């Protein structure tokens, strides 16, 4: 049990330490894709995957921190503020791409439209999970 807890703690520390470099990489990819909205959006799926992983890590970490002091939870929440900002920037990028569906199709970048739909599908499934988990047990 102690070994498992130590391993989980070690993984959490490593993830916290690596988060900034991962966010740097994500931001670089996002800027590259945002430069021209009528391009193939080569980085959109890797960005989404990494943000999903980091968001899951944040959610799990904050859940585990429920028993920590308010000060510790606040420090941890501040540590994830940059992630929240990058997620919001990515969401805005997806919205902007969605506004340009017709120009993307006309310029021959149908793969971008498929990527947007796949991301929406994954996000929809995640939303369904959250709704199901938050339902009272007697209504399931």
* CB of 33 closer than 8 Å to CB of 42: yes
92, part of any domain = yes
Residue 77 lies in a domain: yes
- Residue 103 forms part of a structural domain: yes
pLDDT tens-digit map of 76-117: 999 999 999 999 999 999 999 999 999 999 999 999 999 999
Length of the chain: 140
Backbone angles phi, psi at 39, to 5 degrees: -115, 180
- How many domains in the chain? 1
Residue 140 lies in a domain: no
Contact 92, 30 (CB under 8 A): no
Q: In the structure, what pLDDT confidence band is assigned to residue 139 with cuts at 50, 70 and 90?
A: low
Q: What is the pTM of this model?
A: 0.87
Which tops the pLDDT comparison, 131 or 125? 125
Q: Is the pLDDT of residue 138 over 60?
A: no
Buried b (16+ CB within 10 A) or exposed e, 31-67: eebbeebeeebebbeebbebbeebbebbeebeeebee
Domain coverage including residue 120? 2-135
CA 128 remoteness from chain centre: 16
pLDDT digits (tens, 9 = 90+) for 8-45: 778 888 999 999 999 999 999 999 999 999 999 999 99
Average pLDDT over residues 58-73: 92
């Amino acid at each position: 049990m102690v070994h498992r807890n130590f391993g989980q703690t070690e993984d959490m520390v490593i993830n916290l330490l690596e988060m900034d470099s991962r966010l740097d990489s994500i931001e670089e990819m996002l800027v590259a894709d945002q430069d021209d909205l009528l391009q193939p959006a080569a980085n959109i799926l890797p960005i989404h995957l990494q943000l999903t992983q980091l968001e899951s890590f944040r959610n799990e970490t904050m859940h585990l921190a429920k028993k920590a002091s308010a000060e510790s939870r606040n420090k941890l929440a501040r540590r994830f503020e940059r992630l929240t900002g990058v997620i919001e920037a990515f969401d805005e990028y997806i919205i902007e791409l969605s506004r340009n569906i017709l120009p993307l199709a006309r310029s021959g970048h149908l793969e971008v439209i498929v990527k947007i739909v796949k991301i929406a599908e994954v996000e929809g499934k995640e939303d369904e999970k959250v709704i199901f988990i938050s339902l009272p047990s007697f209504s399931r």
